[in-house]
Amino acid sequence: MEENNISGLETENKAEDNPVAVTERKLKKGKKRWFVLAVFLLLFIFLLGGIAIGFIAGGISRQVWSDSLNRKWSQLFPGNKKEPAVLKQQIIEDDSAVIDVVEKNSPAVVSIVISKNVVGGNSLFGNDFNFPGFFDNNSNGTTPDSGANPQKQKVGGGSGFIITADGMIVTNKHVMVDKNAEYAVVTSDGKEYPAKFLAADPVNDIAIIKIEGTNFPTLNLGDSDVIKIGQTVIAIGNSLGEFSNTVSKGIVSGLGRSLTASGGIGQAERLNNIIQTDAAINPGNSGGPLLNINGEVIGVNVAMAQGAQSIGFAIPSNQIKRVIDQVKTTGKISSPYLGVRYVEIDDTIKKEFNFAYGYGVLIVRGDTVTDFAVIPGSPADKAGLMENDVILEINAVKIDKKNSLGDIIAKNNVGDTVKLKVWHKGDIKEVMVKLMERN
């Protein structure tokens, strides 16, 4: 029995050691392992695919939602495609910029108080000195009352801004028009200083005054040649002569405007190439700054259109830089002049005189004997210009509505030599003229 058992075991071991059987078993095990790996690989691929499809679907959903929101927002606010959050942020940034400009620059804006001896009662703006619809001083006072004694009273107000730390101030010439009045400057902190008149520009409505002191806050002049229609501007001034440092915000509404500003006491002045703005400018704002969003002065508020709404005007900063520099260095304003009486060439004059040019100015005599076409002893007289000559260009710049003769001359200094292109009796010639100081 034991031998048989041993014999059986030996037979079984021999069967297990058979190479063919071993190989078959290994192949079966290998197939199982590859099958498991293939299943796991397919599951992994399916998982990645599901994640990718989920991201894509989510992105599409978000885009569809965003597009839907934008469409609804556009319907509510046509032309504005920004989402509410973006718009809100933009509004906050815009307000913050304006607030920053006002906070930094208001201390350099001053109120000008005009006082004089008047008899009887007084209404501050009863007889305003008005540039079209403008304010500025009631220099006429009120109807005298023979039974009363003259009393010093406030009769007007204006604005200005400090340009040097020692108290030099820019304002309008028409604010300082009454030689019999007294002028005081009130700073933003309520301190009052007597004002000393330094100089007035004979061409532009600009005056320079001064107060005594040190370390005053100042404003910087910007480049008015680069401003654009539609850009934000801020006006600060003594509105109605009562509300100092009043702030108004608007845009540049137009450039290169020209108008004649006339006052209630018989004064008038031609303003050329000035800025139009819809920022609220009220009586009392004369001489105050018009600022850009960087806090730079790009204009000096000068007038508003009478009977209109939101139509104000400012003298561009580049027109006053030369004036300020002259006063700083010489203490006065020296303005060059040519010395001719003229009319601008238009279609009617061109046709009447059979001119070949539709631009330039015609030198003409005035209505009286003393209204010479060419002022005796003037630069034009010394250069040989004559009545009926037509000045076409100055320093290669055509004289037209955009570039008036006065504006071109004003850009030069006393003593400069300019080249004129002149039509003289049918011939074109060049004339060199040395500019002299206007008396």
- Is 195:185 a contact under the CB 8 Å cutoff? yes
What average pLDDT does this structure show over 114-127?
Answer: 58
pLDDT tens digits for range 265-282: 445 566 778 899 988 887
- β-pairing, 109-118 with 151-162? antiparallel
Residue 121 has pLDDT above 90, yes or no: no
pLDDT for residue 217 is more than 90: yes
Task: Work out the pLDDT band at 179, boundaries 50, 70, 90.
Answer: confident
Task: Identify the pLDDT of residue 223.
Answer: 93
- The pLDDT value recorded for residue 376 is 93
Q: How far is CA 197 from CA 173, 175, 200, 327, in A?
A: 10, 11, 8, 11
Residue 26: per-residue pLDDT? 56
Task: From residue 248, give the alpha-carbon distance in Å to each of 78, 119, 238.
Answer: 27, 36, 11
Residue-level pLDDT at 71:
57
Q: pLDDT category, 235, cuts 50, 70, 90?
A: very high
Q: Higher model confidence: residue 84 or residue 417? A: 417
pLDDT average, residue stretch 418-422: 95
pLDDT top residue among 9 and 289:
289
The structure tokens listed for 374 are 């060419």
pLDDT of 215 over the 90 cut = yes
For residues 367 and 101, the model is more confident at 101
Angstrom distance (rounded) from CA 161 to CA 109: 4
Q: Give the pLDDT confidence of 17-62 residue by residue, as tens digits.
A: 555 555 555 555 555 666 666 666 776 676 666 665 555 555 545 5
Q: 221 or 53: whose pLDDT is higher? A: 221
pLDDT tens, residue by residue, 130-153: 443 343 444 444 444 445 677 777
Q: What percent of the chain has pLDDT over 70?
A: 69
> For residue 418, what pLDDT band results from cuts at 50, 70 and 90?
very high
In angstroms, the Cα distances linking 376 to 39, 271, 373, 384 are 111, 27, 9, 11
Highest mean pLDDT among 153-162, 284-293, 403-412: 284-293
Q: How far is CA 173 from CA 132, 137, 209, 339, 418, in A?
A: 15, 12, 10, 23, 28
Angle of CA points 134, 266, 154, to nearest 5°: 55
Q: What is the pLDDT of residues 339-389, one digit of tens each?
A: 999 988 888 888 887 888 889 999 998 878 778 899 999 999 999 999 989
The residues that are catalytic are: 174, 205, 286
Q: What pLDDT is attached to residue 125?
A: 37
Question: Is pLDDT of 175 > 50?
Answer: yes
Residue of 27, 268, 39 whose CA lies nearest to 132: 268
Q: Say what the pLDDT of residue 360 is.
A: 92
User: 63-97 pLDDT, tens per residue?
Assistant: 544 555 455 555 555 555 555 555 555 555 667 88
**Using CA atoms, how far apart are residues 8 and 11, in angstroms rounded to an integer?**
5
115-145 burial string, b = 16+ CB within 10 Å, else e? bbebbbebebbebbbbbbbbbbbbbebbeee
pLDDT band of residue 123 (cuts 50, 70, 90) is: very low
Residue 216, pLDDT > 90, answer: yes
Calculate the average pLDDT of the chain: 77
Of 10-19, 128-137, 178-187, 193-202, which gets the smallest average pLDDT? 128-137
Average pLDDT over residues 228-236: 93
- Distance between CA 352 and CA 347 in Å, rounded? 9
